[in-house]
Amino acid sequence: MDNTNWLLKVEGLTKIYGEPDANTLNRTGSLFNSNQCPETGAIVACNNINFSLYPGEVLGIVGESGSGKSTIVKMLYFDFEPTSGSACLSVFKDGERNIFEETNQKKRFLRNHKMGMVYQNPRDGLNFRFTSGGNIAEKLLMAGNFNVGSIRERASSLLASTEVSIARMDETPAAFSGGMQQRVQISKAIANNPPLLFLDEVTTGLDVSVQAKVLDMIRKLQQELGIAMIVVSHDLSVIRMLTDRTLVMKDGHIVEQGLTDQILQDPQNTYTQLLVSSLL
């Protein structure tokens, strides 16, 4: 029960857009109710983010639009480059290297072998010119699996586990409903059995019955495969159902973190109290 065996450790992660000056970081945040520096106009998307994620753990990041929650996972997945800060993965070079300082080749390796990402918009995670099976094959090929037979077998078993009809494996995701596209995206993201999965607003925009199905699927995958996950959502019900611990973000800062039930029932921060009392 020691807390030294983290899977991911993030320290001082910061992302600034524009031209900051020396005081930009001190002039933004929840105290100022803004993430924009009044002097320089620079936008501080994330300011000094620190947290650890443990193997098999599900961590939630909650906050309003523009609070910086998606930026965190997109930096960790190398979609955006951070301004400063570090992230270490215990399953990569014994956790001793800052993954942001690695070569592009190593970053691709990490994306293909150690991480999976599910975006809010399936178009960001899937190639709509490929078939659904082809999308999964793409991820497997990138990870160095070149056996066509085994790729096809793996693709069908993944689609089956996410309840996408195997008969439709050779259609492009463009012909699918939003919920199905999202499930194909999840299949693709977990194709290489990554130890770490990022889920960015995965159920936003889906109707409630499809949302329930996607949530149930994510939970089953977590229980069966023990994948550690970071779940980004502005929806507190999604956070409540999926996560053990939660970070609350506002204006680029973590304003509160704790056990998810504690955050929802005994919030300490003013903003979190407001957020929780706004719950329908």
Partner 1 sequence: MKYILDVQNLSKNFLLHILNDKKIEALDKLSFRLMKGEIIGLMGKSGSGKSTLMKCIYRTYLPTSGAMVYHSEKYGKIDLVQASDFQIIALRKSEITYCSQFLSVIPRVSAVDVVSETLVAKGASWEYARGVSKEFLSQLGLAEELWDAYPSTFSGGEQQRINVARAIISKPGFLLIDEPTASLDQKTKDVVIDKILDLKNSGTSILCISHDEYAIKKMADRVIELKNGQIVAEPITAE
Residues that bind partner 1 (CB under 8 A): 1, 3, 54, 57, 208-209, 212-213, 215-216, 219, 223, 240-241, 244-245, 257-259, 261-262, 265-266, 268-270, 273-274, 277
**Least distance in angstroms from the C-beta of 270 to partner 1:** 4
Residue with Cβ nearer partner 1 (64 or 153) = 64
Residue identified by tokens 């995958």 is 221
**Least distance in angstroms from the C-beta of 61 to partner 1:** 15
Residue with Cβ nearer partner 1 (111 or 245) = 245
| Three-class secondary structure of residue 39 per DSSP | coil
Residue with Cβ nearer partner 1 (73 or 215) = 215
Residue with Cβ nearer partner 1 (86 or 269) = 269
Is-contact 242 216, C-beta < 8 A?
no
**Least distance in angstroms from the C-beta of 21 to partner 1:** 32
Residue with Cβ nearer partner 1 (193 or 273) = 273
Which of 12, 11, 57 has its CA nearest to residue 222? 57
Question: Which residues share a beta bridge with 198?
Answer: 117, 230
Which of 17, 81, 21 has its CA nearest to residue 44? 17
Q: How far is CA 55 from CA 125, 191, 229, 262, in A?
A: 24, 18, 9, 21
Q: Where are the beta strands (DSSP E) in 139-227?
A: 196-200
**Least distance in angstroms from the C-beta of 205 to partner 1:** 17
**Least distance in angstroms from the C-beta of 240 to partner 1:** 8
Q: What is the DSSP string of 253-273?
A: EEEEEEEHHHHHHS--SHHHH
